[in-house]
Amino acid sequence: MEGKAKNALLLFSFAIFLSLSTTSSTPLHYQILVLNPLPSQPTISWPTSDVDPDSDSETLPASVATETESTLSIQLHHIDALSLNKTPQELFSLRLNRDASRVKALSSLAASAAAAAGGSVTGGFSSSVISGLAQGSGEYFTRIGVGTPPRYVYMVLDTGSDVVWIQCAPCKKCYSQSDPVFDPRQSRSFVGIPCGSPLCNRLDSPVCNTQKQTCMYQVSYGDGSFTLGDFSTETLTFRRSRVGRVALGCGHDNEGLFVGAAGLLGLGRGRLSFPSQTGRRFNRKFSYCLVDRSASSKPSSVVFGDSAISRTARFTPLISNPKLDTFYYVELLGISVGGTRVPGITASLFKLDRTGNGGVIIDSGTSVTRLTRPAYIALRDAFRVRATNLKRAPDFSLFDTCFDLSGKTEVKVPTVVLHFRGADVSLPASNYLIPVDSNGSFCFAFAGTMSGLSIVGNIQQQGFRVVYDLAGSRVGFAPRGCA
C-alpha cells in the first residue's frame, strides 16, 4: 500500500511539473509595429469619375444610375480635413476632445434608456438625442447631393445616430458650414411630411406645424445644442446613384457646438436611419473600411447593398437592446494578449442586462475603444507584463500605458485579439499602439470607463471592412479590407 501511495504521489507531482512546463513554454505571440508619425492634416479629393461635386446642373450625366440600382459605393474622409491650418499635434488633441464628448454622450444615452426602462425617468424617452453634429458626433464624412437639381454638401456618417438631417434656408439660426446652406425652395423633389402620417409618427417627439399641417422634428443634446425644422422627404445623390424619398430633417434653427459639415447621415439600427429607410433597395446591408491615415493615402469608403458583404469577413451576431434600438450591440467574450487569454476578462463584464445596462457596441464615431474599468485594468496589466522590452514613457491624456520609441523605426509588440461570439478579431499592431506626439511617444490605445457601456472604436477598426448585415442580424470583420 505504501509503495502504491508513493507511486501515486510521484505521478501527481510529475503531472503538475508537466503542466507547469507546458504552460511556461507556450510561446508568446508578437508582431512587428512599423513606427509612423502622427498624421498631418488630410486634403480632400473626390474621384473625377463622380458627378461634379460643385455642379448644380439641372441634368445629371446619362451614366447616373436610376433609383433601382442595388449597390452604392462612396468615399469617406476624416473630419480633420475640415479643420483649418492645424498641426498634427493640434489635430490629435482635438480628436481626443471630440472622443471624450462622444463617449460621454453615448454612455449618457444608454444610461438614460436603462433608467427610463426602470421607471426612474418619467415621460417619453428620445433615442435620437445625439443624432446630429454636436461635438463628437462622428469622425468621417462624404459629399452628397441634396435635392433636384442636387446641391452638394458635406455630411457626416454616423453609426451611433438614426435621424438624417441638414441645415436649411431660410435660417433662423445656422452655424458656419463649408458650403452654401441648402434651400428646399430651390428643389423640385422636396416634400413636407403631413402631420400624423406614419413617417411623422416614427419620430420620438413629433411636432405639428398647424399653419402648414406638416411634421416638424427637434433633436436636443446634453450640452444644450439642438436642431429644429421641417421633417420632409428628399432625393439624395451619391456619386452616380440617386436615392429618392429619404426622410430627413430640414433644420432652420441649429444652435450649439456644431462642426463644419452641413448635416448628418444616420447609419444606426433605428427605423429612421438611412439603412433602415433604404432596406428594400440595399437589402439592409452596408460596410465601411476606415484607413490608418498615418500609414496609407488610400481613401476610406462605405458600400451599401449586397456587395457590402465580404467573403473573408468573420461574423458575430447582433444582439438587441429593447430599450435603445440605435446602437449595434455585440457579445465580447474575452481578449487575448500575446497569444494567451487574459484571465480577468470574462463575458460577464460585458453583459447587456434586461434593463438595458452594460453591453458592447461597435461605433464609427468613437476613436479609442473603451472597456469597463475591471476589463481595461486586466488588459492593460497583461499588455504591460508582455511589453517589458519597450521603454516606458509618461502618461498622455487619457492613456496610462505609454512608451518612448524615439529613434526606432520598428518594434516587436505582443499581439491583441478580441474574441467576439463566433469571431476572433486579431488586431494589427498599429490599431492598439499609436503615436501621440512628435517625439516618439506611443500609447496603448484602449481606455477604461466607469460607465457600464463598452465601445469598440474606430482606431481598433482601421484596415478592416466592417460589415453591417441588418437582414442577417450580424456584424462582420474582414482583415485587410480597404483594398
Distance between CA 227 and CA 132 in Å, rounded?
8
Distance between CA 370 and CA 198 in Å, rounded?
37
Distances (CA, A) of 305 to 77, 158, 277, 467: 21, 17, 13, 11
Residue found by looking up cell 425617468 in the block: 121
Of 220, 218, 215, whose CA–CA distance to 232 is shortest? 215
Distance between CA 369 and CA 99 in Å, rounded?
10
Q: Which amino acid is at 376?
A: Y
> Facing residues of 329 across strands?
319, 361
Sequence-distant (6+) residues with CB within 8 A of 369 are: 445, 446, 447, 454, 455, 456, 457, 459, 460
158 is annotated as an active-site residue: yes
Q: Residue 30: enclosing H or E segment and its boundaries?
A: strand 30-34
Of 474, 480, 345, whose CA–CA distance to 418 is shortest? 345
Helices assigned H by DSSP within 246-389: 274-277, 279-282, 373-386
**260 SS3 class:** coil
Q: Which of 99, 158, 204, 292 is catalytic?
A: 158
Dig out the grid coordinates for 307 from the structure.
Answer: 456587395
Q: Which of 80, 162, 363, 469 is catalytic?
A: 363
Distance between CA 202 and CA 222 in Å, rounded?
22
Of how many residues is the chain composed?
A: 483
Of 353, 328, 414, 351, whose CA–CA distance to 379 is shortest? 414
Distance between CA 9 and CA 293 in Å, rounded?
60
Dig out the grid coordinates for 182 from the structure.
Answer: 441648402
Residues labelled catalytic: 158, 363
